Each structure stands twice: as structure tokens, then as C-alpha cells.
Amino acid sequence: MAKIDAAYNYLLTTYGKPKGSRYDTHKKSELRSVYNDIIKTNKESPLYKIAQTGDLTEFTLDIKENANNISRVVNSISGDNEDFSSILKKKHAVSSDNDIVSVNFVGKYSNETKDGFDMEVIKLAEPQINTGNFLSTTGHDFEEGSFSFDLDIAHTAYEFQMSVNEGDTNLDVQNKIARLINQSDIGLDASIIENNKGESALQIVSKKTGLAENESTLFNINSGSSWNEIRLLGIATVSSPASNSIFKLNGKEHSSLSNTFTIDKSFEVTMNSVSSEGEPVHIGFKANSDTIADAANSLAQAYNGMVAVGHKYFEAHNNKTLLNETTAVTRGIKDDLALIGITSNEEGYMEIDREKLIESISGNDSSKSYKTLNTLKNALKRQSSKASINPMKYVDKVIVEYKNPGKTLTAPYAPSAYSGLLVDRSL
């Protein structure tokens, strides 16, 4: 169990993302194809034992996540086996200052949207914050026993109950309440803050921002029968009320409950900080050549991630299988890639001469340039799929038995995250 916990912890801390990609979802046919590939790999794989090194789990997760990242980038460039040049059919919005406003184009390109717009952020939308009283962390101000409080949010009432045990400090009580609120997943974040005296307070922050016309608060805490405990904690008092954002679109002032919203059903904008006075951010569209260059750069970064994993395992185990197989993708077409400004350095990492790439896809031989980009994209897609299906191919292992090539059978219980894996003890 400890090994499973370690695997999940490594996965979440290293690759965990606050927001998933739409390319992480799949059709039934795609899932069936992946399953069939796993079955086929198991059917043809020899029986082997894995050397139980401490970094085995980390390495296999590194392979799978970087392979999946390559797949996400490829699908974002051209889904359903489209040509690399299909990017030209799509429009990509761009902000003149992403630190202030970032943007995604989610609508249809038209005469109404082609010129974009100017946006000035005057004030960001803010959440509601309830900051409790600062108490001595080692103090024992709460009596032993049970107490409860009511919390109203989004027209729903919740009752929280907890116990104070013998010897619990003020900090222990604050931590218990913070865990209760966070684990309930009702749209609030609770944390412990400290002042310069070393005292601690419980702070509760709403995940939502802004207030509608008929709202005065986003959440309320009522003490009920535990008036003394809630008064001592001080969490029923609003220390910073929620407020709406204020911004200008082409000079006209607007307001919003949130910092992320859609304009004209076409531009999804996220306001990140306040603009300098009189300096609006322009939201427009990338030039076609820039869009292609950005896509190629994303592909290079995803490829370099897998090369880095190959170097990491080679340095630890003197095994270059993954590194050699990954870099072979570019070695076979290195002359064609060099013509469009894509090269590899001595360590195998891909480098892009942006100006040369833009020149090549804008010139008379642009069709050849797109053909080379498609060859690279498709080769990386095949390699990433192979690595994701069976990451154990690249680790040190001892072959126990080769299967009879004429009578291979499907092993229905063998398919797993690590296809064909046989170990002495569970991961």
C-alpha cells in the first residue's frame, strides 16, 4: 500500500494539473483501441521480472506522462489525422500582455471578431474572506467536548460537528475545522495563517468571486448553540467582502462577477492583474506563420521532455533504450528538418530556428515544409503511443520465459498500467 501511495504522490506532485485538457477525454472507439493495443502487447511480450530499484515507479510514470503530453500536443495541432497545415483553418487569439489578460478563442471567426478589441482591467473580482481571531498556538482555550456550527453557501445549509479532545491546543482545533471545510468540497478553502507574534488564525476564502445584485455575502457562519467557541474562533465575521471586477472594452466600462468570462461568445478571457492606467491590452489574432511556429515549438518541448527522461534513466542505470528510441525519430529525417530550421544538439534535444521555420512555411516550397512537419508529428505520435502502452519495455529486466510464437494466448488479467509486468512484490 505504501508503494501505491508513493506512486500517487509522485504523480500528483510532479504532473498534477489544476485544469485538465479536453484532449485527455476520449471516444469509446479510442479507448477500445488502447485496450486492444495493451492486449496485443501482453500477448506478444515475454515473461520477465523487474529489478526492484527505488526509482522504478517514478521512471514508468515519467514515461507515461511525457508520452501522454506528446499525444496531447499532437492532437491539439491536428486531430483526427489532419495535416499540420490544418492549423491555418483555426484561429488563435493572442493577448498583447498575458500577465494582465490571457485569452482563448472559442467562437467562429467573422467580420465582427477579426479586429479584436482593447481591454483595460480596472479592478479584479475578489472572493469573500473570513479571517478569525489570532490565538496562541499552544493555548488551550477550548473546553473538552463537542461543538457545532452552521454554514450557509449557495442557498444550501451545512452543519459541521467536531470534538475537542483532552490536550488539544488552539492550533489543533483550528486545523480540525480547516480539514472539515476543505474535505467537504462546498466551494471554500480554509487555511491557517500566522501573525508576527507567532499566533494562528483560521482563514476561510470562497472559491467564487463577486456578488450578484441580490447578494450581500457568499457564505455565512452561524454559531447555533456553540456561541462561545465560534466567538473565540472569530470566523463568523467577514474580514474582506466579495466584490465584482471592473474593466473597459474599447473604452466602455463593464463589470463581472468573475475574472474569467466569455466576450461575444468568441473570446474566453481571464483577467490576471490590473492594467497600468491608460494602457489597455489588445486582444487579437496570431498571424498564420506565428501559429505554425508556436505549434512546432510546443511539439519540440514535448519531445524534449521525453529525451530528458531518457537521459535521467541512462545516468541512473546506464540504459539508453528509451533515449536511443526517442532520438531515432529525428535522426531519420534530420536533413529534412534542418532545411526548415529544426535541429538537434549533441544531447538530442530539439532546437528550432523560428525565423528560418517561418520563412520555410511561407516560401514557394511550403508544401515540402509541411510534409516534413507532418512526418515529424506522425512519428512522434507513434513513438508516444508505444511508450505509453508499455513503459516497461525501457527498464532493466530479466527475461524468465519467451512465449511460443506460434501459440500465443491473451492473458486477460495481465493488462494494467504496466503492461506485461511481473514483480516479486506489488508496486
- Positions of E strands within 229-370: 245-249, 252-256, 260-263, 267-271, 281-285, 342-344, 350-352
pLDDT digits 0-9 by tens, 10-63:
655 566 554 555 556 667 777 787 777 777 777 777 777 776 666 777 888 888
Task: Answer with the residue of higher pLDDT: 217 or 407.
Answer: 217
Instruction: Report which of 4, 23, 141 is spatially closest to residue 71, judged by C-alpha positions.
Output: 23
Instruction: Report which of 22, 57, 50, 67 is spatially closest to residue 268, judged by C-alpha positions.
Output: 22
Sign of CA pseudo-dihedral 379, 384, 385, 390: positive
- The DSSP code for 419 is T
| Cα(234)–Cα(218) distance, integer angstroms | 17
**Distances in Å between the alpha carbon of 238 and those of 100, 203, 206, 411?**
28, 10, 11, 60
Instruction: Report which of 284, 264, 254, 265 is spatially closest to residue 125, judged by C-alpha positions.
Output: 254
> What per-residue confidence (pLDDT) applies to 199?
95
| Residue 421 φ/ψ, nearest 5 degrees | -80, 130
What's the mean pLDDT in 257-281? 91
pLDDT digits 0-9 by tens, 280-290:
999 988 777 88
Mean pLDDT of the chain: 84
> What per-residue confidence (pLDDT) applies to 424?
40
| Cα(380)–Cα(302) distance, integer angstroms | 10
What structural domains does the chain harbor?
2-89+289-401 (no CATH), 93-125+244-285 (no CATH), 129-233 (2.60.40)
Task: Answer with the residue of higher pLDDT: 421 or 106.
Answer: 106
Task: Answer with the residue of higher pLDDT: 233 or 60.
Answer: 233
Mind giving me the DSSP string for 67-112? HHHHHHHHHHHSSTT--GGGGGGS--EEES-TTTEEEEE-S---TT
> What per-residue confidence (pLDDT) applies to 28?
79
Residues present in the chain in total: 427
Q: Residue 245 burial (CB < 10 Å; 0-12/13-18/19+)?
A: buried
Q: For the chain, give the percent of residues with pLDDT over 90.
A: 48
Q: Are 297 and 144 in contact (CB under 8 A)?
A: no
> What per-residue confidence (pLDDT) applies to 34?
76
Q: At what angle do helices 366-389 and 354-362 cross, to 10 degrees?
A: 120
C-alpha 32: how far from chain center:
25
Task: Answer with the residue of higher pLDDT: 292 or 29.
Answer: 292
pLDDT digits 0-9 by tens, 152-165:
998 899 999 989 99
pLDDT digits 0-9 by tens, 174-231:
999 999 999 998 999 999 999 999 999 999 999 999 999 889 999 999 987 788 899 9
> What per-residue confidence (pLDDT) applies to 324?
93
Sign of CA pseudo-dihedral 394, 398, 400, 405: positive
- Confidence grade of residue 420 (pLDDT, cut at 50, 70, 90): very low
> What per-residue confidence (pLDDT) applies to 421?
42
| Cα(198)–Cα(408) distance, integer angstroms | 67
* Three-class SS state of 282: strand
